[in-house]
Structure 1
Amino acid sequence: MKNSSIHISRTKMFLFFHLLLAPLLHQKLVAGTTLDPPQNTISGTITDMNGLPLGGVNVVVTSTNRGTISDMDGTYSIQAGNNDLLVFSIVGFRTLEVPIDGRNTINVQMEEDVTQLGEVVLNAGYYTVSEKERTGSIATIKSEIMEKQPVANPLAAMQGHLSGVNIVQNTGVPGGSFSVEVRGRNFLNGVTDPLYIVDGVPYGSQSLAAPRVSTEIIGNISPLNAINPNDIESIEVLKDADATAIYGSRGANGVVLITTKKGKSGKTRFDAHLSTTLSEVSNFLDLMNSQQYLEIRREGIDNDGLTPLLENPTLDGFWPDITVWDNNRYTDWQKELIGGTAYRQNAQLSISGGNELTQFLVSGGYLKETTVFPGDANYRKASLNSNLTHRSKNGKFKINFSSSYTREDNRLPGADFTQQAYSLEPNAPALFDEEGNLNWENNTWDNPLAALEEEFVAATNTIISNAILSYAITPNLELKSSMGFTRYRLDSYVTNPNTARNPGLGLTPQNFSNLTTNASERESWIVEPQLNWKKHWDRLSLDILVGTTFQQESSNQIVLRGRGFPNNGLIKNLAAAQSLEIFSTSDADYRYSALFGRINLKLYDRYILNLTGRRDGSSRFGPGRQFGNFGAVGLAWIFSREALFKESSFLSHGKLRGSYGITGSDNIGDYRYLDTYNVSGESYAGTTLLEPSGIFNPQFGWEANRKLEAALELGFFNDRVFLNTSWYRNRSSNQLVGIPLAATTGFSQLTGNFDAVVENTGLEVDLRTVNVRSKQFQWSTTLNLTIPKNKLVEFDDLESSTFANRYVIGEPLTIVKLYNALGVNPETGIYEFEDYDGDGEVSNPGDLEWIEDLAPKWYGGMGNTFTLGNLSLDVFFQFKKQRAYNAVRFDATPGFRGNVPVALLDRWQQPGDIATYQRSSSGFTTVEDLGGRQQSSNAAVSDASFLRLRNISLNYKLPTMENGLDINVYLQGQNLWTLTDYYGPDPEQPSSTRLPPLRQLTLGLQISF
């Protein structure tokens, strides 16, 4: 609690100075840029054609260039002369010019622009492009969508909202990781992470967690937790070659551009956002009670002929659940171990404002979240974000500076209780004895709460900063440079005291207690000078961009373990350990440089050609292989601008576009082409030993991903109905994988290029409609659908390679090879399987020929937004068609020690029975048991399709008060309801060892003035 107070105090201090200095700075800037003395104060209200107020409208006085923006209720106030002209502008509406003519009050109505789609500007990385004129495939999600979701990681806010982007949450524990695929899996090495760019700065998404210092409770730690979703203005995902080729070797798996919020001109604005969230497990398995469990347990012992041994007290340790524990006791371990309620408190404060030349924003946030597990485990995050934008009076010089700092503290127990919640015997003893101590029941069981004696702590510090400077040399030529720096530091440790083990083992701090630490750091800087020339003629527009990239990244990690402590009170002090081991240490530098360019040609405002290219150099390849060339061409025809459609009241937008190009990948880690060595963890005569870990191979080079896309965009009725359909085909070749080597070489693999081709094809559909739009009521709908297909097209000599057991030509990379289960033999009561190779017995690998694909067949989401006056309701559903491992994967034989689903009661009991599960078995004899084989059969895979109410948000905005105070009250829900026939914990995260995503309910308050 003391540390918590320190972190809060630091955050408050940062906020205090920003809040104190920002208004003074603003006043000074305004005073320094004041032009002519104001002659009058003009005020009024801005509405649309339906009479609804418009907030965020830019109001500019033409003679002085003085500006302001309208408030949420549409009101504005500005100083101007009696003969000045006011210009009102906002995206989606026609610009309006109104003369003052000596008036003090000017109320205006703004008309929607039929071409509003063309004014929606998308971030394409090195340049911006209008939605209407883009030639590439760019999916986007805005802040207004993310703000309606009670999540702590931006990836969680993206789930289901973007076509072609499949995101899966790996655990319901705070701080956990996500799996992200943009248009499928491209490479055999399993790397699917896209390139993340935060305000122009590349951001590493790979966790620095070490396997020995990362418990199963959390797995990898997502570095993206450091980015506060409330600070994000928009996220764009670049998918096709036209959009990603300008990133060259880093764009093979797509590019995710994260843009943070910036200040706006106008009066200084203060915003506060407070929320409280309650979370719980959304689905419990139907497990056996004590009577059911003991019935099949005794039956299994009897089937194995071991019943007489139950009378031997020396064998009680084999079956204490039968002979020692209270057979009438029952505990619902799911409710006991994962049935708690997790709480999240979130506070966000920001101040923003500025004038027409300088704008600023400073925000700070604090989040604390607990878990559904027993104990006081929690996750805390404090963040500070700032942004400053300035331009010179003549508009030639511009600068934007953004920075963020995030501190995370994750304190979790040493184990995820989920697996024990599903498997602990229902008649297991009480957790505590009469004196409140851990109950070991005479050392007959392992008390699950002993894991609370262990401690897993991960502390991360993240800094992201970026500066963009530009100068307009001429009206058509701009010189710009982007400079960024990131630093990610992870310090974690796991304590393993002897008190976390059964006392019957006789362990002491001196012979068992240990501490494992991980100290990791990653730093990166990047400089990207750019030159942009634009020229517009009557029928032709030309945009040329050239630039270069210089980037360097360094990372280091050291993992230590101390063993044997005088007592557990000193377990966190490595100096007190009797022995110290270095498990691993690494120190890597990555250098990257590139030359990139873009030529955009637009003819007659409807024929568009976009050429992008990049030459990359990477230190991850050997001499002669360090450079690669990548590029793309994009074409678009806006046929709705042809004379035939110009007067159409039906078709408001129509565009055909296509692209083809090559991107690449060097995502293999550092120094793979060199002889490398690792610390072995062993020593000789007190000297730490090194062992070889990699073989010299300078021959391997860049992976290549050839991307082809064709798309059709249609807008109807002034774009009230907008449809975007895209077909794509990506072919990835020259695969960088670990080539298995014979054990006699002393190495498991050699990094090199395989002559293998992986193909991803798919169809993406995005639909958005404005169903009802009146003065009092609005209703809009969004729908996205992705139908992907993945297959291995080529793989030289696959049948004779060690990959023959994993891949099949013509099948997806996501397949698993299984036995074909034929059910339970009604006479023997044992599982049967198909003998594919006909050798008279079922064995591995000859009969693992049944293929199941675990990738989704199709997925997407549908959202509806309803607005009635000041009340709004958002409902978003996510859906997915897929197959996944079910509960059979973890339990297939009734009678073993440990609880199982009630479904296993449908077991074989006597000859002639037709049952789903085989005969019960105790697990202690050599009697044939094929349960393990059943777990590796197609019986362990079933339909896992689902329709999930991913998010619902109810918001009420109170009428704006006279002092300009705006108050919003909202109620949000996440993962509230799931429709599925899946037999397991969760269809999207089908694991019995990790906590599934939680159901969340949030109450929040937003205040602005």
Structure 2
Amino acid sequence: MRKNEKAFWLSLRASLTVFMMFFAFTLMAQNVTVKGSVKDQNGEPVIGATVKVAGAKTGVITNMDGEYMISVPKNATLEINYIGYNSKTVAVDGKSQVNIVLNESSTELNEIVVTALGIKKDAKKVGYAISTVKSDELIKTQSPTLGTALYGKAAGVDIKTAPGGAAGAISINVRGLSSITGTNQPLVVLDGVPIRNGEANNSDYWTDQRVNSNGLADLNPEDIESISILKGAAATAQYGSEGANGVVMVTTKNGKGGKGVGVTFNASVTGNFVAYMPEYQTTYGPGAAPQSRISSGADAYGFYTRNGSGRNGLTKNEYKYVSGTSYWGPKYDGSDVLYYDGTVRKFNPISSNPYSNLFRTGVDQQYNVAVTNSSDKGNLRFSYTYLNSLPNQYNSTFDRHNFALNGTQNILSNLKVDYSVNYMIENVKNRPYRMYRLLCNFAGMFGAFDDINYIRNSAITPSGYMNRTWNDNQQYEADVNSGYEYGFSSKSGLVDEYLWNIYGKTQEERNNRLIAKVAPTWDIMPGLSLRASLATDYTTNKRENKNSSDKALGFGTSGDYSLNQYRYTIIYGDAMLTYDKNLTNKLNLSAYLGWSGRRETLWDQTSATNGGLSVINWFNLNASSSKANTNVRELRMLKTAAFGGLTLSYDNWAYLEGTLRNEKISTLYKGNNSFWYPSVNASILVSELLKEQKPAWMDYTKVRASYGIVGLAPEIYKATIAYNQQQASGYIYAMQPNDLGNNEIKPERTYEWEFGVEGRFLQNRLGVDLAYYTKTVKDQILSTTTAWSSGANSILMNVGEFQNHGFEMALTGTPIRNKDWNLDLRFNIAFNRNKVNKLAEGVSRLEHKNWDNGAAYLYSEVGGSIGDIYAYAPKTDDKGNTIIDSDGYIALTDAPVKVGNVMPKYTGGFGFNLSYKNVYLDMSLDFRKGGSVLNLPYQYLMGRGSLVDSNKWRDAANGGQTYYLDNDNNVVPATSAPAGKVLYDDGVIFDGVTEDGKPNTKMASAQRWYNWSYNWGTGAPTYYSHSIFDNTYVKVREIVIGYKFPKAICDKIHATKLSVSAYARNPFYIYKRMPIFDAEATDATSWIEQSWIGGSSVTTRSFGVSLQVGF
């Protein structure tokens, strides 16, 4: 019975299946499946357009490529609608392919933005802030990297590029800090794929002296269509533990647009000129201060005389000379003096900018050719860019080849494949060296009487060894003596080392990077599609350091050779199912569900000679005098996530979206490595809600709000407790490190609210975008001290918390728009404040930096802001008067006090584009208000009397007063000196009061004041607060003037476009508070190392010309 019953049900199910199939085929016989695309007048896809049968309540929505598929009666009429475009109806007439072009409404502007996971959306429907920079903004001055092209173009986004041209790193900070001690660099996503970026140049200047790059600098601006910067937590929540610092979404160019084959060619030549270097005083030469001249062996004017014969027979005892590393010596008077090299020269300044002579004018040549093809079967774009750069540093070269292939292939009517390949080959010889040892060490400083060209040209002896100008070369080289006749003394040690690093040491580097993706999309049925992608970011780096032997082998081994091979691999994959359905004629539902996984592997091997080279300049590991050393490092990380999102839209004016991501990280403890990241955002299009009732001046207005939670995971293995292998008495044992990890560590978490308003008014002549955000960052990962009984100094813990809040405003305007003239304006400004709520238990202050053995500190304090600078400062009384000590000098505080904070009060940018017929002028600037910076070169160079600022009070012409020194070396104001005494004119009476509150009348020596107060360390009267500056500036970033040839001329050469332009990058400052140096002269990506300026490579202003032609 049971067997027959089972057979019955099987028979019934089969019958029902056949019936349903018959019914479905009957319906299908009555309908046809229509597919096609919806594009605008420029051939760009219209995403999210509604395609439905005229009069029907529901339909389908176009996908990210503007494509749709719908089942309709074969004689139906399609109705296509989209905000910002005029509606359109098209008869099907039995066709299976219907492509539609929508015309833009005269009063509304449509903009497509790229959001998380590479999902393209109409900007009007997004409930959070996104800043987008288009292709033409990135390449108008032919910048070799993205960093210099992004300055001031996005509100709340702070850009810094390391000096060093195309070889320098790029630092991006979005909405202030998201971590106190961790990285603050955003995640970079290229065509939907997270790629390698990273930190750079944050190490000590005494270790790694070269200016290095990071991953973002590899991307070629010529291949980029747009950059969207996702700022808030709701925008970045789908990136989980990497979303806290914002996300930079980079979309590359493709072949979509016009039909058929197209070719474009761009060429540019740019000169990079040394700029913003210290300005030296040219009144006084080298030597001791007047009060110390006689005791040092000089005459009262500061000149020395020779006794005995000089080297190489250069006696010349009849000539005077000057000596010393300070510039408190005699005035330049044009008299004959014996120079350091033994020649007789006039005592005149050689250069007011000696450091500039260490460098040459750099030249960048960049050429790009791109081929596009578009048809009904798909599209593609292939591009090749060659950049050849002659860096400003001598004996250095740089070239880069970028290949890009991007396209879409339609395999079936409902199956397509997107693909992209970006391949970079980079060859670098001698990355730029930092100048820290020349600017921040008294033994390495130059002055106006130093002949830099001579020093540079004689850096290597005729035998090819290091020229030791501070010593007798004969101890190393019997036949050659290129040492100075009169020494730089210890100064030349660092000078010669710097020049030997450039000319005697060669670093050859070759980078290969492949970023590739394949992403099929299957339209399963109307409204339902499946997208998957598989991608890689594969980098190899080979770096050889060939450090020449600096002396003959008979004097001992020298030189060395090392080979570093580096491989970084990212394998990324994801799959996402999307569903879109009009539930009613007003209510639409969109949803997606997906999974992603990313595996990162680092392999790094360094092999180096040991004890010098056994054969002069044989750069091979076999030349190692002792056994060569080899170190290998390998890191692995796997990150997987399940994610989803749901969007409801009502009547094209109300939108609500929620997302959720669950993420697992392999480098955290197994029971503590799964985390949830939710977000929600909503927007209301007021202009659509009002419809016919909206004011005539309102084109589009939206209010939005969002909330999200994102994270920041610790560095790979940072949370791991690793044991070090040791050996003693033949036994091998494991020993824990002094700084412990923690298996319970979890990612830092950011909780952020954002509210905003945006709109377009007056027929799109005025645009406004306002945003306010507040976020709390919890579970900061900090090293906390632990009991000595644990065997370690510190342990990693989730203990810190701080808050950020800020306001952003972006304005656009077109005050002039007519047949011949057009003027577009753009302006943005961003404010950000932070407050430290707590640190580790019992800790109220976190030290980030200690300069010069306690002369100044960088702190974060509970109840205060991140990045407070503390230093000794002038002591004041309760009325604010400066207290002057008994010697006439400024008295100092007993302990360091807060003198500034490194965070700016606000930042922003301004620009315009003015065109008259075919001529255009484009200019952009950016600005920064506040934010303190410690200028160490200023501190030291002022103490040596080298800078123009040190002339103040130095003599009567510069405000100095006259005095003489009594027998106890006290300053005695006088207009004439007694017999046997010298009258000095560098006296100064500092404004202030004495300890008893009386006005100060005590005169002091200005030269002694400079030499003592602008010095190194903490001993009074030395102090650093007068070298800590408000880093406010307004800088013109780009100026472009160009001409677009009219169509009649283009037609004669069968071109579709032809234009030429001249441009300038970083041409000048309109305003700058900080003396000497570029206000951005830092090469670090860490905010801690950006808090001071002290010796990066040279900065430049650039001028160039470019040609663009298309066929």
- TM-score normalised according to structure 1 size: 0.81
| 2:12 counterpart residue number | none
CA distance in structure 1 between the aligned counterparts of 2:752 and 2:43, rounded to whole angstroms = 39
Secondary structure, in 3 states, of the residue corresponding to 1:230?
helix
Cα displacement (A) at 1:121: 4.0
CA distance in structure 1 between the aligned counterparts of 2:733 and 2:510, rounded to whole angstroms = 29
CA distance in structure 1 between the aligned counterparts of 2:412 and 2:911, rounded to whole angstroms = 44
Cα displacement (A) at 1:441: 1.1
Letter aligned with residue 423 of structure 2: Y
Of 791, 808, 812, the residue aligned with 1:768 is 812
Q: For 1:3-402, what aligned pairs fall within 5 Å after superposition?
A: 94=86, 112-114=104-106, 116-206=108-198, 218-264=210-256, 265-289=258-282, 292-294=284-286, 297-299=288-290, 301-302=292-293, 319=324, 325=340, 328=347, 330-332=349-351, 334=354, 336-338=356-358, 340-373=360-393, 375-392=394-411, 394=413, 396-402=414-420
Q: For 1:879-918, what aligned pairs fall within 5 Å after superposition?
A: 879-885=927-933, 887=935, 890-891=938-939, 896=944, 899-903=946-950, 905-906=952-953, 911=971, 913-914=988-989
State whether residues 950 and 974 of structure 1, in contact with CA within 8 Å, keep that contact through their aligned partners in structure 2. yes
Q: For 1:287-686, what aligned pairs fall within 5 Å after superposition?
A: 287-289=280-282, 292-294=284-286, 297-299=288-290, 301-302=292-293, 319=324, 325=340, 328=347, 330-332=349-351, 334=354, 336-338=356-358, 340-373=360-393, 375-392=394-411, 394=413, 396-412=414-430, 415-417=433-435, 420=438, 423-428=445-450, 430-431=454-455, 432=457, 437=462, 439-442=482-485, 444=488, 445=492, 446-447=495-496, 449-451=499-501, 452-499=503-550, 510-536=556-582, 537-566=584-613, 570-580=617-627, 582=629, 585-643=632-690, 646-670=693-717, 672-677=719-724
CA distance in structure 1 between the aligned counterparts of 2:607 and 2:637, rounded to whole angstroms = 24
State whether residues 733 and 757 of structure 1, in contact with CA within 8 Å, keep that contact through their aligned partners in structure 2. yes
Cα displacement (A) at 1:450: 2.8
Q: Deviations over 1:957-997 (max 9, x none)?
A: 22221424532111121111212232120112262411353
Q: Deviations over 1:930-983 (max 9, x none)?
A: 777777533222222111111112221222214245321111211112122321
Moved more, 412-421 or 860-869: 412-421
| 2:797 counterpart residue number | 752
CA pair 941-671 structure 1, distance change in 2 beyond 3 A: closer
CA pair 807-214 structure 1, distance change in 2 beyond 3 A: closer
CA distance in structure 2 between the aligned counterparts of 1:854 and 1:210, rounded to whole angstroms = 17
Identity of aligned residues (%): 20
Q: Deviations over 1:828-875 (max 9, x none)?
A: 25452123xxxxxxxxxxx12224111111111111112222222211
| 1:984 counterpart residue number | 1076
CA distance in structure 2 between the aligned counterparts of 1:201 and 1:479, rounded to whole angstroms = 17
| 1:968 counterpart residue number | 1059
Q: Deviations over 1:242-281 (max 9, x none)?
A: 2111111110111111111111251201111111000112
| 2:72 counterpart residue number | none
Q: Which runs of 5+ in 1 are unaligned?
A: 1-47, 49-53, 63-84, 100-108, 836-846
Moved more, 320-329 or 133-142: 320-329
Cα displacement (A) at 1:165: 0.8
| 1:943 counterpart residue number | 1030
Q: Deviations over 1:881-900 (max 9, x none)?
A: 1233365664358664x844
CA distance in structure 1 between the aligned counterparts of 2:898 and 2:459, rounded to whole angstroms = 54
Secondary structure, in 3 states, of the residue corresponding to 1:520?
strand
State whether residues 513 and 571 of structure 1, in contact with CA within 8 Å, keep that contact through their aligned partners in structure 2. no
Moved more, 179-188 or 330-339: 330-339
| 1:953 counterpart residue number | 1040
Q: For 1:851-870, what aligned pairs fall within 5 Å after superposition?
A: 851-870=899-918
Q: Deviations over 1:103-125 (max 9, x none)?
A: xxxxxx99641564345344443
Please say if 1:814 is aligned against 2:880: no
CA distance in structure 1 between the aligned counterparts of 2:83 and 2:1060, rounded to whole angstroms = 27
CA pair 320-479 structure 1, distance change in 2 beyond 3 A: closer
Secondary structure, in 3 states, of the residue corresponding to 1:440?
coil
CA distance in structure 2 between the aligned counterparts of 1:498 and 1:930, rounded to whole angstroms = 36
Please say if 1:1000 is aligned against 2:1102: yes
CA pair 800-532 structure 1, distance change in 2 beyond 3 A: closer
CA distance in structure 1 between the aligned counterparts of 2:438 and 2:143, rounded to whole angstroms = 27
State whether residues 1037 and 1065 of structure 2, in contact with CA within 8 Å, keep that contact through their aligned partners in structure 1. yes
CA distance in structure 2 between the aligned counterparts of 1:89 and 1:306, rounded to whole angstroms = 92
CA distance in structure 1 between the aligned counterparts of 2:211 and 2:355, rounded to whole angstroms = 23
RMSD, aligned CA: 4.1
CA distance in structure 2 between the aligned counterparts of 1:607 and 1:777, rounded to whole angstroms = 38
State whether residues 354 and 360 of structure 1, in contact with CA within 8 Å, keep that contact through their aligned partners in structure 2. yes
CA pair 128-629 structure 1, distance change in 2 beyond 3 A: same
Moved more, 338-347 or 119-128: 119-128
Cα displacement (A) at 1:638: 1.4
CA pair 522-208 structure 1, distance change in 2 beyond 3 A: farther
CA distance in structure 2 between the aligned counterparts of 1:210 and 1:982, rounded to whole angstroms = 23
Cα displacement (A) at 1:341: 1.1
CA distance in structure 1 between the aligned counterparts of 2:587 and 2:735, rounded to whole angstroms = 64
CA distance in structure 2 between the aligned counterparts of 1:827 and 1:498, rounded to whole angstroms = 55
- TM-score normalised according to structure 2 size: 0.74
Letter aligned with residue 586 of structure 1: R
CA pair 958-211 structure 1, distance change in 2 beyond 3 A: same
Q: Deviations over 1:69-126 (max 9, x none)?
A: xxxxxxxxxxxxxxxx999999976477899xxxxxxxxx996415643453444434
Q: Which runs of 5+ in 2 are unaligned?
A: 1-39, 52-76, 92-100, 311-320, 330-337, 468-481, 849-856, 876-881, 955-959, 964-970, 972-986, 992-1003, 1083-1092
CA pair 317-968 structure 1, distance change in 2 beyond 3 A: closer
CA distance in structure 2 between the aligned counterparts of 1:509 and 1:739, rounded to whole angstroms = 50
CA pair 542-654 structure 1, distance change in 2 beyond 3 A: same
State whether residues 137 and 242 of structure 1, in contact with CA within 8 Å, keep that contact through their aligned partners in structure 2. no
Secondary structure, in 3 states, of the residue corresponding to 1:949?
strand
State whether residues 242 and 610 of structure 1, in contact with CA within 8 Å, keep that contact through their aligned partners in structure 2. no
State whether residues 601 and 634 of structure 2, in contact with CA within 8 Å, keep that contact through their aligned partners in structure 1. yes
Secondary structure, in 3 states, of the residue corresponding to 2:286?
helix
Q: Deviations over 1:793-827 (max 9, x none)?
A: 22243546764972212322122222223479475
CA distance in structure 2 between the aligned counterparts of 1:184 and 1:96, rounded to whole angstroms = 46
CA pair 450-692 structure 1, distance change in 2 beyond 3 A: same
State whether residues 565 and 571 of structure 1, in contact with CA within 8 Å, keep that contact through their aligned partners in structure 2. no
Of 728, 734, 752, the residue aligned with 2:773 is 728
Of 853, 871, 876, the residue aligned with 2:919 is 871
| Rg larger in structure | 2
Query: Aligned pairs, how many?
Result: 901
Moved more, 984-993 or 951-960: 984-993
State whether residues 229 and 247 of structure 2, in contact with CA within 8 Å, keep that contact through their aligned partners in structure 1. yes
CA pair 749-490 structure 1, distance change in 2 beyond 3 A: farther
